[in-house]
Structure 1
Amino acid sequence: MQPPLLHKINGHHFWLSSEKILFWEEEKALVLSDLHLGKSGHFRKAGIPIPQGVMKEDMQRLMHLIQYFHPTQLIVVGDFFHSTNNLELDLFKRWRNDISDVTIKLIRGNHDILQDQWYSDAGVDVIEKDLYLHNFCFTHDNNDIHPENYTFTGHLHPGVVINGLGKQSLRFPCFYFTSTYCILPAFGKFTGLASIQPSRKDDVYAIVEKSLIKL
């Protein structure tokens, strides 16, 4: 894994990882979005043959990041889970026991529709709308920007187009920072991308082959 890159906001230190996650140094928090755990199982229930290893790979990657950064908490900016309960989410509960000392705060996303008791049993604290810490806001939908607090959002699954020679172009997931908000890349492997249109004042870090490239 490439060493994380530092991005400062309002005097706070955020370390960006090419594994689509950032570490907030002052709060000892890993901040991530859009894991969509259980999505592959949801599609298999519908008869679509998605490989079973997709979710396990995401969880192994997250476990590696927890061991690397040693956070005291996870802040998940929505869509931690994808749909109603299935066998894959039983695997999550077993995985949760291995990191019982790490607090998980979930800002509810549009796909987080499990029963409240399920979240409680799984050790996940659910915040219905916004989470405020210091002078930052964490919310799922990038339409809910709060100008008075620098805002971290997910939901969009941002991607940036990089043009090559001739008419060649490729699209990559990215961290997208403006002067008032950041849109986090989707952590889950089984997710799509939506192209962003950054201005010259914005900071964009493309994630290319396990590396971060500042554009």
Structure 2
Amino acid sequence: MSDPFLWRWKQERLCFLPERALWREEGSILMVADLHLGKAECFQAHGIPLPSDGDAGTLNRLLALCHRWRPNRLVILGDLIHSRLGMTNKLRDVLKVLPELIHAEVDWIGGNHDRRSWLEGLPQQAAQPMGGLWLSHEPETPPPDTDQPLLNICGHIHPMGRIHGGCDHLRLPCFAYEPDNERLIIPAFGELTGGHDCDHRYRQWLVADDTIVPWLSPTPPKRAKASA
């Protein structure tokens, strides 16, 4: 079994999982973001011949993760679906029984790709608080009328860290914390998802070989002074 990485923010105890998911100890909550199910079928509808096995890989990984951690609640932080064009009857049937398959409640916070998508028994929800957290799909600033500062947990960005070594470089999914805005961005869970590099504003934890690796990004290069 891969080892999680425990991270604390105020009173919150959060585990970064190498499966590209987040575990909240209090309440036994599992969080994932950006599954983008139906993406291959959406591309096929536009004439791009992608294979249709990405959904099976993503869903099987999700079921295995839930079986291992046995959450009381699964929170999907948006972009469960890539597009309505990819919503096959088979996919609808699987998602309809997802709570029964994982033996847990499922909350679906709607993302930008989820708009105008509908699933029986699984309504989309708005961004919401959970203890000391503010859960959203896109990065958000929590409402100012909360009793305490909240950590924004979100997806949407598909964060990646970059490792440089001479002429070589490697990009890996990562958990990215932005201290200036008290925000934690979790990596995309889906098989068919790209990513965006995180810059020096983010503290990063790379996902590599079923391990979470704390990573210190190099400081940004200094701008050269203009010659007189």
- TM-score of the aligned structures, taking structure 2 as reference length: 0.83
Instruction: Please state if 1:56 is matched with 2:56.
Output: yes
Q: Of the candidates 175, 186, 198, which is equivalent to residue 200 of structure 2?
A: 198
For structure 2, the 5+ residue unaligned runs are 216-228
Distance apart, 1:145 and its partner CA: 2.5
CA contact (8 A) 1:206 1:212 kept: yes
How far apart in 2 are the matches of 1:99 and 1:47? Answer: 33
1:105-116 to 2 correspondence within 5 Å?
A: 105-115=107-117
Contact 1:55 1:88 in 2 (8 A): no
Query: Which position in structure 2 is the counterpart of 1:161?
Result: 162
Equivalenced residue count is 206
Structure 2 CA distance for partners of 1:3 and 1:49, relative to 1, 3 Å: same
- Structure 2 distance, partners of 1:125, 1:132, is 17
Distance of 1:212 and 1:88 partners within structure 2: 34
Equivalence for 1:126: 124
Deviations 1:33-52 (A, max 9, x none): 10011111211222222122
Q: Partners of 1:95 and 1:210 in 2: how far apart?
A: 29
User: Cα 1:57–1:190, aligned 2, differ >3 Å: closer, same or farther?
Assistant: same
1:149 paired residue number? 150
Quick one: distance in 2 between partners of 1:161 and 1:197? 9
Structure 2 contact 33–78 (Cα < 8 Å) conserved: yes
RMSD: 1.9
1:95 Cα deviation after fit: 5.2
Return the match for 1:140 from 131, 137, 140: 137
Q: Where do 1:54-93 residues align within 5 Å? A: 54-84=54-84, 85-93=87-95
Q: Summarize the alignment of residues 6-85 of structure 1 with structure 2, pairs less than 5 Å apart.
A: 6-84=6-84, 85=87
**CA shift for structure 1 position 76:** 1.2
Distance 2:124 2:212 in 1: 31
Runs of 4+ in 1 over 3 A off after TM superposition: none
1:191-210 per-residue CA deviation (whole Å, 9 max, x = no partner) reads 111011134xx531111233
Pick the structure with greater CA Rg.
2
- One-letter amino acid of the counterpart of residue 141, structure 2: I
| Secondary structure in structure 2 of the residue aligned to 1:99 | helix
Alpha-carbon distance in 2 for matches of 1:95, 1:61: 16
Residue-by-residue CA offset, 1:140-168 (whole Å, 9 max, x unaligned): 112x223831100111111111111x221
Q: Deviations over 1:91-137 (max 9, x none)?
A: 5336526426311111110000244xx32x2x324213x11111210
Select between 81-90 and 40-49 the one with higher mean Cα deviation. 81-90
Structure 1 contact 72–103 (Cα < 8 Å) conserved = yes
Corresponding position: 1:213 with 2:213: yes
Structure 1 residue ranges without an equivalent (≥5): none
C-alpha distance in 1 between matches for 2:106 and 2:99: 12
DSSP-derived class of the 2:103 partner: coil
Q: What SS does the corresponding residue of 1:89 show, helix, strand or coil?
A: helix
The code of the aligned residue for 2:10 comes to N
Letter in 2 for 1:149: L
